[in-house]
Amino acid sequence: MSHITWNFYCSGILYGKITEREDGLYVSMLDSRAGKYGKAVLYTEEADSFFRPFSRRTLSDFFQMKEECEAAVKASVEEFTTVSGAVYKKRKDNSYIQRKKKYPFDLFHENGELYAVYMTVRDSMAVLVKEGWEEKTVLKEWKNVFGEKAFLQKAVNGEADCLDICKEGMGQTVPYYRVVFRGTFRVETRDGEFLSTDVYLPDGLEKVPVVLIRTPYNKSDQPEWYFPFVQRGYGVVIQDVRGREESTGEWRSHYYEVEDGDDTLNWIAAQEWSDGNVGMTGGSYLGMVQWAAAASGNPHLKAMLSDVAAGSAFVDFPRRGGCMCSGTLAWDFMMSKKHMDEKLMDQPNWDEILDYRPLQTIPERALGYPVPFISELFDHEHLDDFWYRTSWKDRYAGGPVPALILSGWFDDNGMGTTEALDLVKDWPEGSWKTVLGAWKHSGNADYDIHGLYVGEDALRYDLDVLSMKWLEHFLKGVDNGIEKTASVEYYSLGEMKWKEAGEWPPKSVQREIWYFDGAEDDCGAGNGESCGEGTLTVALLSNGKQKDTYLYDPANPAHHIIDMAENEIEVPEDYTEEEKRKDILSYTSSVLTEPLTVTGDMTVKLYISCDQPDTDFMVRLTDVDKTGRSMKLADGILGAKYRNSFEKPEYLKPGEVYELNIRTTKLSHCFLPGHKIRVTVTSSAKNFIFPNSNTEKGFNSEEIRTANVTVHRNRRYASCIYLPVENGELR
């Protein structure tokens, strides 16, 4: 039996070699700090642990099913399922995607010979490839960044002694630098706290541009994730934010990040190993801190790699639309101690916990100890100085900072990216670029999201290449053309294809008004009758009654369908059964006879009245397919008392009609012929927001009242949705 060797790359860097022999798998792994590959040893769980930070998967799982995959690929079957349950589907290019699995193993072959496995991980990319087949893979794209010697074509033999990859080896010079841990430093803030900061530098370089990561999740957890930057000639600085892990001070989510980011940038620029050019990278909270640092106007910040960045409280979390988001409690629990504890997200009694009142008592009742940062969130009902300090968007005082912005339609921090796109739209051409996919908060990682198949081309294999080109251009001055590429790349569901545009939303978008109309009967304020199904039409018909009423009971809220422990709040889901509730109004178009593509965010204009001083409104846009399945694609929320201002609530008066404008999450989706467009309206969304009590105390009252809620739909009060339709004028 001949030995077969597989090379494992992450972001174009060879991290290990796995050789199949008669007596098992052997592996040689890169010691990034020593700059050497180890001698080949038997593959064990230790090797799986070594590769997991780069792939998020257990590589031994692939080798256990490799023979099955090879047989299926050789037979050119359309679909197959392995004994272990891995589900595969052939693509148009004859490669195979792994369905129904986060971080899939995608298979590539030539004439039936399996030669590569692709693994997408958010903005990174791992490739397991048969030695000698690198030129057939996405690895060749690294030549566009670093030239012909961008990756190793001939790698160290698995049986050989360690070889120094930073010098002449294997007949060529390779552009990797040894990772040197410079040490842990205490960066002092302007108010006397100390931020624990680890510094990694490329060996042999004196002054380098720096990539900064500021995290609340433990800077010492898998720093290897960022080693590709060091190995390509950047310094990497990883810092625990204030109050987390080894940093001093109190932990108040978002609160100190503008000032602390500014202080950290100044500290980096003053170091002897820094050339004064700093970029930042990271997702979610790690994305938000980039915009917070940019908000300070610090001149040393020259580039951002913003991934699913969190936004300001009343636009994003935890106060979207003025409501109080319950769906973020899982994250709050995980962060309730100085050291992150993911196990705390999995609470067996979430339904009970969400009913605790007053809300300030939740931490101690659920966890057994007080959590000041959680209780403090409930102490500030309206937009005030506390919330203002947490908002990078409201505090933005800097100029343009070149930003590569990544997010997805189902990113639960997607409204943060919406704020970022609102901010950069007037920046100079070439100073920003966004890639928007059919992804959830965990990013570029799934072909199936809660029952919605997003298409065989939904995942990108080039995000790490784009990111590196961004840094090379804006931190090192390399003329690689990245600033001349399309400002917007976005994936359109339904059409299942990527598109480009010069702005967001694209110029081809036309706003169309679709009116609510035609429900045969209202909900009768709880008389037991069905709400009926209203219509959604481009013409204001005013058929039937001119208003629809439902009874909202905070003790029996409608559901937002998620798994709290998953910590993914904006996933698509089938709402067909939920929409049968008497307290949900539905407005549905006629069957479409031609495709209609919606790209952008929607605005739902509601004219409402209510017999209580306050209530909330949750609107959803769904796609109703030929079977009647109603799949949620976008949503929006607004507390009625905040219809004009989050700072000054204005309570409702019985009998009066009020206008509400609700901005939804963004989307690109093609409604196909035979499908219908649906908009639903209700006043609650358990698991997303705490139910409004319908009193002036809103979400944090032990007293609750039922509310008769009316949506008006006539020529004077024309409730509607503004749909951003691509090429709308051509239809």
More confident call, 702 vs 519: 702
pLDDT at 412: 97
- Percent with pLDDT over 90 in the chain: 91
Final residue of a domain: which of 96, 125, 146? 146
**Is residue 502 situated within a structural domain?**
no
What CATH number corresponds to the domain at position 208?
A: 3.40.50.1820
**Is residue 171 situated within a structural domain?**
no
142 and 216 co-located in one domain = no
Q: Which of 139, 145, 11, 123 is nearest to 481 (CA)?
A: 145
pLDDT at 454 over 50: yes
Which residues, other chains included, contact 323 with Cβ-Cβ below 8 Å and sequence gap of 6+?
Answer: 616, 637, 638, 639, 689, 690, 692, 699
Q: Which of 324, 358, 350 is nearest to 702 (CA)?
A: 358
Mean pLDDT of all residues in 528-532: 43
- Is residue 388 classed as helix, strand or coil in its secondary structure? helix
Strand partners, 214: 239
Final residue of a domain: which of 130, 146, 162? 146
Which residues, other chains included, contact 29 with Cβ-Cβ below 8 Å and sequence gap of 6+?
Answer: 15, 16, 37, 38, 47, 50
Cα-to-chain-centroid distance, residue 125: 16
Q: For 639-701, give the secondary structure using H, E and C.
A: EHHHCCCCCCCCCCCCCCCEEEEEEEEEEEEEECCCCEEEEEEECCCECCECCCCCCCCHHHC
Q: Which residue has the tokens 């294809």?
A: 497
pLDDT at 341 over 70: yes
Q: Which of 640, 644, 646 is nearest to 710 (CA)?
A: 640
pLDDT at 254 over 70: yes
How much of the chain is in helix, strand and coil states, percent to nearest 5?
20, 35, 45
pLDDT at 176: 86
**Is residue 394 situated within a structural domain?**
no
**Is residue 384 situated within a structural domain?**
no
Mean pLDDT of all residues in 643-669: 98
135 and 181 co-located in one domain = no
Q: Is the pTM of this model over 0.75?
A: yes
pLDDT at 145 over 80: yes
Choose the weakest-confidence range: 237-246, 461-470, 516-525, 678-687: 516-525
Neighbours of 653 (CB within 10 A): 11
Residues 689/616, Cβ–Cβ less than 8 Å: yes
Neighbours of 544 (CB within 10 A): 17
360 φ/ψ angles, rounded to the nearest 5 degrees: -60, -20
More confident call, 51 vs 122: 51
φ/ψ region of 106 (left if φ > 0, alpha if ψ in -120 to 50, else beta) reads beta
Q: Chain-wide mean pLDDT for the chain?
A: 93
What CATH number corresponds to the domain at position 644?
A: 2.60.120.260
pLDDT at 163 over 70: no
619 and 707 co-located in one domain = yes
**pLDDT, tens digit (0-9, with 9 covering 90-100), for 113-127:** 999 999 999 899 999
Mean pLDDT of all residues in 516-529: 53
DSSP-derived secondary structure for 606-628 = EEEEESSS--EEEEEEEEE-TT-
715 and 577 co-located in one domain = yes
CB under 8 A, 24+ apart: contacts of 95-98: 96/69, 96/72, 97/447, 97/456, 97/459, 98/447
Which residues, other chains included, contact 704 with Cβ-Cβ below 8 Å and sequence gap of 6+?
Answer: 553, 554, 555, 691, 693, 694, 695
**Is residue 586 situated within a structural domain?**
yes
Confidence of residue 636 (pLDDT cuts 50, 70, 90): very high
Confidence of residue 175 (pLDDT cuts 50, 70, 90): low
pLDDT at 532: 56
Final residue of a domain: which of 260, 281, 306? 306
Distance CA(494)–CA(592), nearest Å, equals 13
Residues 603/659, Cβ–Cβ less than 8 Å: no
Burial class (CB in 10 A: 0-12, 13-18, 19+), 502: exposed
142 and 181 co-located in one domain = no
229 and 125 co-located in one domain = no
pLDDT at 539: 87
- Is residue 603 classed as helix, strand or coil in its secondary structure? strand
Confidence of residue 727 (pLDDT cuts 50, 70, 90): confident
Q: Which helix (H) or strand (E) holds 199?
A: strand 194-202
Mean pLDDT of all residues in 525-539: 65
pLDDT at 169: 32
Residues 726/508, Cβ–Cβ less than 8 Å: yes
Confidence of residue 152 (pLDDT cuts 50, 70, 90): very low
Structure tokens at 487: 């400002």
pLDDT at 419 over 70: yes
Burial class (CB in 10 A: 0-12, 13-18, 19+), 527: exposed
Confidence of residue 543 (pLDDT cuts 50, 70, 90): low
Confidence of residue 519 (pLDDT cuts 50, 70, 90): low
Structure tokens at 450: 């809660």
**pLDDT, tens digit (0-9, with 9 covering 90-100), for 282-329:** 999 999 999 999 999 999 999 999 999 999 999 999 999 999 999 999
pLDDT at 143: 86
189 and 241 co-located in one domain = yes
pLDDT at 164 over 80: no
CA atoms within 13 A on the CB side of 564: 28
Structure tokens at 263: 């202080």
612 and 651 co-located in one domain = yes
CA angle at 543 for the pair 540 and 548, rounded to the nearest 5°:
95
Mean pLDDT of all residues in 464-492: 98
Q: Amino acid identity, residue 370?
A: P
290 and 216 co-located in one domain = yes
State which residues form the domain around 109.
Answer: 4-146
pLDDT at 542: 61
Burial 172-191 (b: 16+ CB within 10 A, else e): eebbbbbbbeeeebebebee
pLDDT at 514 over 50: yes
**Is residue 633 situated within a structural domain?**
yes
Distance CA(228)–CA(201), nearest Å, equals 11
Residues 98/106, Cβ–Cβ less than 8 Å: yes
256 and 141 co-located in one domain = no
519 and 581 co-located in one domain = yes
95 and 243 co-located in one domain = no
**Is residue 623 situated within a structural domain?**
yes
Q: Which of 174, 167, 138, 176 is nearest to 153 (CA)?
A: 174
Distance CA(41)–CA(576), nearest Å, equals 54
Residues 361/378, Cβ–Cβ less than 8 Å: no
**Is residue 589 situated within a structural domain?**
yes
Choose the weakest-confidence range: 182-191, 493-502, 514-523, 596-605: 514-523
Q: Domain count of the chain? A: 3
